[in-house]
Structure 1
Amino acid sequence: MSAEYLATVRPDRRQSLVAVPRALDTGQRSGTPGAIDAVVNHLQHVLPAVESLMASAGHLAEWGVDLAGRLMAGQRLLAAGNGGSAAEAQHLTAELVGRFDGDREPFSAISLHAESSSVTAIANDYGYENMFARQVQGHGRAGDILLLLSTSGSSPNLLRAVEAARKIGVTSWALTGPGPNPLADLCDDHVAVDARSANAQEGHLIALHAICRAFDAEVARCRRTEGGS
């Protein structure tokens, strides 16, 4: 836990953060000390992910504003990932088609892994590495955004998707784990979360919510401006 982070915490809470491992009532828990230490170690490694995102706060805000402008103009977001990153991609599209905090109009956002029949047909006929690229070719239009999530930044099916996006004028963004990595290098823009793989993935969810806050703020600002004109 960094001294810089502790400096931002209220003095009356610093001691409890530093002493987390011994603050647990281990005598009344079924977990062994080894399991407790593993949990505490994991939680403490969340902090580097958050610190990394704080350094990219302006970057995430820019993404939210850019995304809002494009979707309000009729473009769409395509999102993809593998495994847990697929779940996070779908989390983002749900926030945009549904809502995040307050009520607003829905926007076009598609999770490319969620079309199970398309995914299995494409993977069967063209190979797993092309399952996203072919959907980008089918759904993508110039000016759309393709957001790809990967802790490793090396998944072949995501790299192929970026190549397909570039050919048709779709802008590609990546949320990855520590850089440099192939996906970050290939995309038009990226935010790399400098943390262990699982913690980087947790950081990605925080980043997506931060983007949604900037997105909603920009939509609200534009709608107020339109209403006053």
Structure 2
Amino acid sequence: MTASQLSQDPESLLPAAARRRCPCRGLDWCLLLGLCALGAAILGLALCSAWGVLARPLGTPETAPAGLSRAEDVGAQMLATNSLTNDRQMKWDYHPDVDGVIFSSNFNYHKDYDELEVKVGGLYFIYAQLAVTCTVRNCTKERTINLVINQKSGNTEIPVLTVSLHLSSKSEDSMSKFSAVLRPLKKGDFLFVKLKSNGKDDDDWHLEQTNKKDNFFGLFRLPRSAEPTVQ
């Protein structure tokens, strides 16, 4: 008997009909299909986990309330439309077809006044991010830029959240800060945002525009179980 005969697959020595009936090939296929199903399940779990991270608004801390994932149903998130850092009331892009914008039926945006009207009362998680960048070779001027979210109820206006950046020659070329607060809001309340600065319109620092999603303002209503009684 030659070496080539000894190295043959034992199954190949069986008659053709017997080889077709041999269950070992069927077991191989079952094992392969099982491994494919396991791989698909692991991939699906990984994609779900990644989507949970990407769905958070930009800059939101990992420890943000679980209700943030429901923002598309009960919340709003808008993007700044201007790069200047002078004192002014900020304008926002609120169109839901823009990447980074969320706008549910719980709100109306009055673009003539740049105010967001709350249509459903409750306890809200209100948040904002302020991001600036140096537009010259070296930004040496010291200044402070404040983004202030104000609540208007009737004739009363109250600041509810302030995001501050203190800039100097020691600052990095790009800086950002995220902040948030819990606040009860009533139906008919308005929110508007003002930018306050001790610099000039042509200052070296501008709002970040490379990624327009870096400057945003948003809020979402918490579940009823977490809401106080709001009249």
* TMscore range, shorter length: under 0.3
- TM-score by length of structure 1 reads 0.28
Higher strand fraction (1 or 2): 2
Higher helix fraction (1 or 2): 1
- TM-score by length of structure 2 reads 0.28
Q: Which has the larger radius of gyration?
A: 2
